[in-house]
Chain A
């Protein structure tokens, strides 16, 4: 696994994958949104507002998927001390936070015509709000240290604690929301959904996954260059110090 710890090798691999991921993203999102907007039928209860589902639900999936991905990367980073895993976790966090935010806002926009309010303390939305806060905490902790290595390790531990807690939080919030109000309108009761709605949903979800892959690869590349810049800066400073000492001596 440490084969790809070499930055040059990783960058070569990333450069080979990136064109496919980028083209795949464009194609999947193009087809998915075309189907979602033009082909898929309106819902018999919710009418055309159901089209918000095609961004809301895949965003929610992505927000959860990316947190798990961060947790896996964090475990790899902590156990095998693999440097790329740290970078992958750091690169993923803003993307996950973006999707969580998108889920919240589209949920609110969907909820307005359905519930009549901009915000309802519905179980799913509330869990997503907490997940969004978990992302913010992860990002804040990553950037809270002078020494970036410490930030990586602290954030990795936090991500693992978070991923163990997510099922507990989810369960407790569901329990709480069913105690306080009837079930939500955002029904997505698995197999009963009609194929003409399921296909666009799945294709958009694939597009989001490929988008995530593209952005994460670019961000890791960027982080690798940043690390090299820091090393060069340090070398310049050291060289200057050596020169200064030579002049004084």
Chain B
């Protein structure tokens, strides 16, 4: 137990050593998380756009009977 407290006291330099390490972790993890979130966001938007692009192309083909299911798309879009 004493060993553990001694370790955390860092020979009296705890106030300087631990914030240094904490800041290292915060900056490195923060940058990584920001990068990952940006990547995920962009991947999702790209997937959405591509899905919509595919739909648009389909719609340009010989149109199915427009009266068949008028609300189909909006209904699908709802969660």
Contact string against A for B residues 1-24, beta-carbon threshold 8 Å, 1 for contact and 0 otherwise: 000000100111100110111011
User: How many angstroms between the C-alpha atoms of A56 and B17 in the bound complex?
Assistant: 11
Which of chain B's residues have a CB closer than 8 A to the CB of A232? Answer: 46, 49-50, 53
B27-A102 in contact (CB<8A) = yes
User: How many angstroms between the C-alpha atoms of A218 and B13 in the bound complex?
Assistant: 37
B27-A101 in contact (CB<8A) = yes
Partner of B10, one of A49, A225, A228: A49
Known A-B contacts A42-B11, A48-B12, A52-B16; the reply to A225 vs B32 at CB < 8 A is no
Which of chain B's residues have a CB closer than 8 A to the CB of A113? Answer: 13, 16
User: How many angstroms between the C-alpha atoms of A112 and B13 in the bound complex?
Assistant: 10
Interface-centre pick from B20, B31, B49, B50 (highest chain A CB count, 10 A): B20
Contact string against B for A residues 45-71, beta-carbon threshold 8 Å, 1 for contact and 0 otherwise: 001110110011001000000000000
- Stretch touching chain B among A103-111, A121-129, A138-146: A103-111
Which of chain B's residues have a CB closer than 8 A to the CB of A49? Answer: 10-11, 13, 16-17
A215-B24 in contact (CB<8A) = no
A110-B16 in contact (CB<8A) = yes
Which of chain B's residues have a CB closer than 8 A to the CB of A47? Answer: 11-13
B24-A106 in contact (CB<8A) = yes
Which of chain A's residues have a CB closer than 8 A to the CB of B13? Answer: 47-49, 51, 113
Q: A51's closest neighbor in chain B, by CB?
A: B17
Which of chain A's residues have a CB closer than 8 A to the CB of B23? Answer: 102, 105-106
Partner of B17, one of A48, A95, A218, A226: A48
Q: A235's closest neighbor in chain B, by CB?
A: B53
Give residues of chain B (44-66) contacting chain A, Cβ–Cβ below 8 Å.
Answer: 45-46, 49-50, 53
**B42 to chain A: closest CB distance in Å?**
4
B28-A211 in contact (CB<8A) = yes
Which of chain A's residues have a CB closer than 8 A to the CB of B39? Answer: 218-219, 221-222, 225
User: How many angstroms between the C-alpha atoms of A52 and B16 in the bound complex?
Assistant: 8
A218-B35 in contact (CB<8A) = yes
Q: Does A83 make an interface contact (CB < 8 A)? A: no
Q: Does A24 make an interface contact (CB < 8 A)? A: no
A229-B11 in contact (CB<8A) = no
User: How many angstroms between the C-alpha atoms of A59 and B25 in the bound complex?
Assistant: 12
* Pairs A–B under 8 Å by Cβ, sample size 28: A47-B11, A47-B12, A47-B13, A48-B12, A49-B10, A51-B10, A51-B13, A52-B17, A52-B20, A55-B20, A98-B28, A101-B27, A102-B23, A102-B24, A109-B20, A112-B16, A113-B13, A113-B16, A211-B28, A215-B32, A218-B36, A222-B38, A222-B42, A229-B42, A229-B46, A229-B49, A232-B46, A232-B53
Q: Which residues of A contact B (CB under 8 A)?
A: 33, 37-38, 42, 47-49, 51-52, 55-56, 59, 94-95, 98, 101-102, 105-106, 109-110, 112-113, 211, 214-215, 218-219, 221-222, 225-226, 228-229, 232-233, 236
